[in-house]
Amino acid sequence: MRIFDDRELGYLEEVLDSGVLGWRREGMTGRFERAFAEFVGAQHAISRSSAMTGLAQAVSCSPAGWGSEVICDPIVQFGGLAALNEMATPVFADVEPDTLLMDPASVRRKITERTRALIVTNLWGLCARLDELRAICDAHRIFMIEDCAHTTRAYWKGKHAGTRAHVGVFSFQQGKHLPTGDGGMIVTDDPAIDEMLYGEWAFGETPKWFTLNFRMNELTAAVGLAQLERVSGYVDTYNACQRHLDEAIKGCRWLKPRAIPPEAVPSAYTWLSFWDGDRYGMELARFQQIAREKQVPLRFGFIGKPAYLWDCFQAATDPDHPGRAAFKRHPLFPGPKYREGDCPVAEERFPRLINCGVMLPTEEQGRQLAERLRAAIETMERG
């Protein structure tokens, strides 16, 4: 259950009593940043207005920009959008079929002499193979960014999400593990990056680099500090709900669970499984109907296709695309057009994706949801 009560009010009152609502390192934002850095085990944390602004800013403090390439993953669009926003060309690496996370082997194949940054999404509560990706980045002098919007309190080989890369970016948007309404956090161990981001606030002198205002304010930080004290409890509940759903599909031949590698500690966000029924002559439409009847809120096929087949990415590199007008401030991005077949694993997986929200207020609700899913599976199997 998400709780907003006296703890949040107490910190909010402190802010109001201080008479200062705007960001300050000696105020509530600074307190939240230091507490968050300690929570994830990073040297520095810089609070932001959202994860999307944090991702764009992470690209802007990397060596990537116009004429260079940023490797992204294709299941969600956020990394690609951050690259486009900073005028760099997104190049999409494929994913592993059983986790849907960026595949290091595909990354190796996508690197060119123009690759300057990589944005890996720790998707739906699970970290990608972060140590392997960091080693690849180091070998090729690539700036690594982790999108950790779904991985507050998730770990890979004992290290918190966001701390293997040069920069990790978290989201505190309402639907995330640690909600402040909107908000985000950049974490880094590099004092030069911390200083660069801090330089954003250096009003009154010539900016040392080009960026805009992505600050968090003191009121948001007050809620964030209180929620940080609660987030581990939330994540424990969500992980328990996810385990119930995994249990419900155990033994089902035609619904395959998402693999959770032994090196990963997840922070459940969206539960994922894969439809395999076509291999047994089963009809997906029938299972969709049964799931509706049993009130199991499954989402089929997620957003339908990989990000690079969306109009906004297609239009970035295709002069004849009808969506070109949306790029009024961008010249045509150099590089090949995005095509079907660019990430064959992602394309094959999309129609098989079956998601379900597991950020439920109580474990009991997760257990009941799992029971309904089990009943839907049994109905389907009866034919």
Ligand X SMILES: Cc1ncc(COP(=O)(O)O)c(C=O)c1O
Residues contributing to the site for ligand X (CB under 6 A): 50-52, 76, 78, 121, 147, 149-150, 171, 173, 184
The least distance separating ligand X from the CB of residue 277, rounded to whole angstroms, comes to 28
**What token pair was written down for 377?**
């599976």
The least distance separating ligand X from the CB of residue 308, rounded to whole angstroms, comes to 16
- Contact of 119 with 70, CB cutoff 8 Å: yes
Rg of the chain over CA atoms, in angstroms? 21
Q: Which is nearer to ligand X, 179 or 366 (CB)?
A: 179
The least distance separating ligand X from the CB of residue 332, rounded to whole angstroms, comes to 26
Q: Which is nearer to ligand X, 15 or 52 (CB)?
A: 52
Q: Which is nearer to ligand X, 44 or 48 (CB)?
A: 48
- Contact of 95 with 102, CB cutoff 8 Å: yes
The least distance separating ligand X from the CB of residue 6, rounded to whole angstroms, comes to 26
The least distance separating ligand X from the CB of residue 141, rounded to whole angstroms, comes to 25
Q: Which is nearer to ligand X, 99 or 171 (CB)?
A: 171
- Locus of tokens 């180091």: 138
Cα dihedral 40, 45, 49, 53 in deg (nearest 10): -90
Give the span between the Cα atoms of 209 and 229, in whole angstroms.
35
- Contact of 380 with 298, CB cutoff 8 Å: no
315 Cβ neighbours under 8 A, 6+ residues apart = 321, 322, 323, 324, 326, 327
Give the span between the Cα atoms of 189 and 63, in whole angstroms.
17
Q: Which is nearer to ligand X, 96 or 147 (CB)?
A: 147
The least distance separating ligand X from the CB of residue 358, rounded to whole angstroms, comes to 15
Q: Which is nearer to ligand X, 127 or 373 (CB)?
A: 127
Give the span between the Cα atoms of 89 and 87, in whole angstroms.
7
Query: Any idea what the Cα angle at residue 226 is, between residues 220 and 231, rounded to 5°?
Result: 110
Q: Which is nearer to ligand X, 101 or 376 (CB)?
A: 101
Pairing of β 44-48 and β 143-147: unpaired
Q: Which is nearer to ligand X, 215 or 367 (CB)?
A: 215
The least distance separating ligand X from the CB of residue 121, rounded to whole angstroms, comes to 5
Helix (H) / strand (E) element for 174: namely none
358 Cβ neighbours under 8 A, 6+ residues apart = 238, 241, 242, 245, 268, 269, 270, 271, 366
**What token pair was written down for 82?**
């951050």
The least distance separating ligand X from the CB of residue 90, rounded to whole angstroms, comes to 14
Looking at residue 301, the DSSP 8-state letter turns out to be: S
Give the span between the Cα atoms of 118 and 171, in whole angstroms.
19
The least distance separating ligand X from the CB of residue 175, rounded to whole angstroms, comes to 7
Q: Which is nearer to ligand X, 93 or 255 (CB)?
A: 93
- Contact of 148 with 269, CB cutoff 8 Å: no
